[in-house]
């Protein structure tokens, strides 16, 4: 065996369903053996950063209308939302099994009994095989995690934390209302309960250097995330960020620069981390900038091309 054998193994190219990064479709296919889609649900939650517990304005880029599906109305019950969403999923994607995804606002921010009821309503629907819950690191406690751990014995549960940046000065700038330590604690606690953890990060805050963004992407390794979502910063109508951008425009990523950064992150990531997303999207009528003119499949293809061009892959530089 050569002295370099461990490096040789590390440097062997990895492919996940024709892609050079550990993509979510590959994970779903290998975990469930068939196509699965997430059903976005609106649990009628708010957020401590909006209702006055921590603040009123929310994070400066936040407009939850930008990720609630157009066919969902926040007044609808969970079963009514499933009734509308699932025929749509079957029609458009031909899928038969679903992950219930509580996405808008902070989906653990209520009394435990109310949370139990909402999650059970979603899980009671036929062919729901998973529960994904988007939330803030300061909106979880041990009682909730104990309950989710029990659900996790029957269906896969994932808690998705908004990390956004690991830099406290950036978190302050965006009016996040918590620091990075809060994320570290919540992720650690969630992992202790055996629940999978997803993290969401944003690249392109104008107060950050490229190196700071790279550090945020790579924090998925030290946090031990199971899933990672990376988004470009979007300036969306109805936000404080939009007002600032209109008053004094700041630079935003061009698609080429963003793709280069994403590939830099991917090659440094643990290859076991499943990439759920590499790009954000926002409804056309809400998005102010950047407007790249490409849809997500096209952008993902450009990432594939860049990985190939550099002859690299997720984890090639992971230490
Ligand atoms: S991004 Fe999340 S945490 Fe921030 S204001 Fe919006 S819902 Fe609240």
User: Tens digit of pLDDT for each residue in 97-148?
Assistant: 999 999 989 999 999 999 999 999 999 999 999 999 999 999 999 999 999 9
Ligand 1 touching residue 103 (CB < 6 A)? no
Report pLDDT for 70: 73
Q: Are 40 and 96 in contact (CB under 8 A)?
A: no
Q: How would residue 9 be classed by pLDDT, with cut points 50, 70 and 90?
A: low
Number of domains comprising the chain: 1
**Residue 11 domain flag:** yes
CA-nearest residue for atom 2, ligand 1, is 105
In a domain, 285, yes or no: yes
Going from the Cα of 283 to the center of ligand 1, the distance in angstroms, rounded, reads: 18
The C-alpha atoms of residue 290 and residue 199 are separated, in whole angstroms, by 23
Contact 245, 216 (CB under 8 A): no
Instruction: Output the CA 200–ligand 1 centroid distance in Å.
Output: 12
Tokens representing 60 are 């400066």
pLDDT, mean of residues 232-252? 97
Is 315 domain-assigned?
Answer: no
Residue located nearest, by CA, to atom 7 of ligand 1? 105
The residues that bridge with 131 in the sheet, in sequence order, are 100, 157
Pocket test for ligand 1, best of 44, 62, 66 (most atoms within 8 A of CB): 62
CA of 316 to the centre of ligand 1 (A): 34
Residue 316 domain-assigned (yes or no): no
Task: Please determine, for residue 247, whether its predicted confidence score (pLDDT) is greater than 50.
Answer: yes
Position 13 confidence tier, pLDDT thresholds 50, 70, 90? confident
Instruction: Give yes or no for residue 231 CB within 6 A of ligand 1.
Output: no
Residue 56: is its pLDDT beyond 90? no
Residue 218 maps to a domain = yes
Q: Tell me the residue range of the domain where 216 lies.
A: 5-309
pLDDT for position 64: 76
**Domain presence at residue 89:** yes
Residue 3 has pLDDT above 90, yes or no: no
> Which residue from 47, 66, 240, 241 has its CB within 8 A of the most atoms of ligand 1, so it is best to mutate?
47
Distances in whole angstroms, Cα of residue 241 to Cα of each of 23, 57, 60, 179, 306 = 31, 11, 5, 20, 30
Please work out whether the CB of residue 105 comes within 6 Å of at least one atom of ligand 1.
Answer: yes
pLDDT given at position 7 = 46
Report residue 201 as tokens: 């990060």
Domain CATH number, residue 300: 3.30.750.200
- Tell me the average pLDDT of the chain: 93
Q: Say whether pLDDT at 312 is over 70.
A: yes
Q: What is the mean pLDDT of residues 22-43?
A: 94
Regarding the beta carbon of 177 and ligand 1, being less than 6 Å apart is answered no
Is the minimum distance from the CB of 49 to ligand 1 under 6 angstroms?
A: yes
Q: Does pLDDT of 272 surpass 50?
A: yes
Atom of ligand 1 nearest to the CA of 106: 7
Judge whether 290 lies within some domain.
yes
Whether the CB-CB separation of 181 and 201 falls below 8 Å is answered with no
Residue 273 CA to ligand 1 center (angstroms) comes to 24
Contact 138, 189 (CB under 8 A): no
Does the CB atom of residue 134 touch ligand 1 within 6 A? no
Residue 318 lies in a domain: no
Answer whether residue 5 shows pLDDT above 80: no
pTM of structure: 0.94
Mean pLDDT along residues 8-19? 78
**Protein residue with its CA nearest to atom 4 in ligand 1:** 59
Write the pLDDT tens digit of every residue in 75-103: 899 999 999 999 988 898 999 999 999 99
Whether residue 1 has pLDDT greater than 50 = no
């Amino acid at each position: 065996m050569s002295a370099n054998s461990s490096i040789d193994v590390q440097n062997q190219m990895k492919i996940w369903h024709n892609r050079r990064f550990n993509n979510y479709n590959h994970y779903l296919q290998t975990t469930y053996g068939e196509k699965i889609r997430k059903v976005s649900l609106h649990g009628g939650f708010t957020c401590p950063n909006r209702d006055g517990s921590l603040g009123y304005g929310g994070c400066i880029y936040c407009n939850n209308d930008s990720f609630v599906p157009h066919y969902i109305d926040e007044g609808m019950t969970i079963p009514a939302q499933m009734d509308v969403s699932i025929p749509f999923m079957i029609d458009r994607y031909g899928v038969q099994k679903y992950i219930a995804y509580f996405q808008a606002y902070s989906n653990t921010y209520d009394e435990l009994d109310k949370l139990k009821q909402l999650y059970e309503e979603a899980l009671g629907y036929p062919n729901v095989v998973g529960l994904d819950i988007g939330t803030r690191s300061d909106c979880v406690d041990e009682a909730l995690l104990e309950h989710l751990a029990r659900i996790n014995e029957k269906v896969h549960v994932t808690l998705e934390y908004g990390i956004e940046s690991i830099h406290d000065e950036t978190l302050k700038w965006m009016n996040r209302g918590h620091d990075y330590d809060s994320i570290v604690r919540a992720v650690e606690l969630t992992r202790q309960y055996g629940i999978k953890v997803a993290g969401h990060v944003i690249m392109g805050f104008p107060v950050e250097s490229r190196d700071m963004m790279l550090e945020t992407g790579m924090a998925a390794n030290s946090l031990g995330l199971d899933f990672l979502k990376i988004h470009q910063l979007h300036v969306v109508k109805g936000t404080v960020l939009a007002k600032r951008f209109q008053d004094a425009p700041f630079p935003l990523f061009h698609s080429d620069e963003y793709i280069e950064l994403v590939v830099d992150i991917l090659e440094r990531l643990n290859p076991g981390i499943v990439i759920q997303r590499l790009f954000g999207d926002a409804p056309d009528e809400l998005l102010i900038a950047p407007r790249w003119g490409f849809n997500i499949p096209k952008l993902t293809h450009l990432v594939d091309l860049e990985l190939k061009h550099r002859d690299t892959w997720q984890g090639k530089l992971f230490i």
